[in-house]
Amino acid sequence: MTAGAASKMPLIVGWREWMALPAIGVDAICAKVDTGAKSSALHVDAMETFERDGAEWVRFTLHPGRLGSDGTVDAEARVVDRRLVTDSGGHETERLFIATDLLVGGLRYPIELNLTSRHNMRFPMLLGRTAMAGRLQVDPEASFRLGER
Asked if the structure places residue 146 within a domain, the reply is: no
Q: What is the pTM of this model?
A: 0.88
pLDDT digits (tens, 9 = 90+) for 52-75: 999 999 999 998 765 455 688 999
The confidence score (pLDDT) of residue 2 equals 45
What CATH number corresponds to the domain at position 97?
A: 2.40.70.10
Residue 149 covered by a domain: no
User: Quick check: 29 pLDDT over 90?
Assistant: yes
Q: Is residue 144 part of a domain?
A: no
Residue 21 lies in a domain: yes
Which helix (H) or strand (E) element contains residue 7? helix 3-7
Number of domains in the chain: 1
What value does the mean pLDDT of the chain take? Answer: 89
By the 8 A CB rule, do 79 and 95 touch?
A: no
**Does 7 reside within a domain?**
no
Name the pairing type of β-strands 92-104 and 107-116. antiparallel
Nearest in space to 125 (alpha carbons), one of 96, 102, 91, 142: 102
In a domain, 4, yes or no: no
C-alpha to C-alpha distance for 85 and 42, rounded to whole angstroms = 13
Report d(CA 147, CA 13) in Å as an integer. 10
Query: What residue numbers bound the domain in which 49 lies?
Result: 12-139
Residue 79 lies in a domain: yes
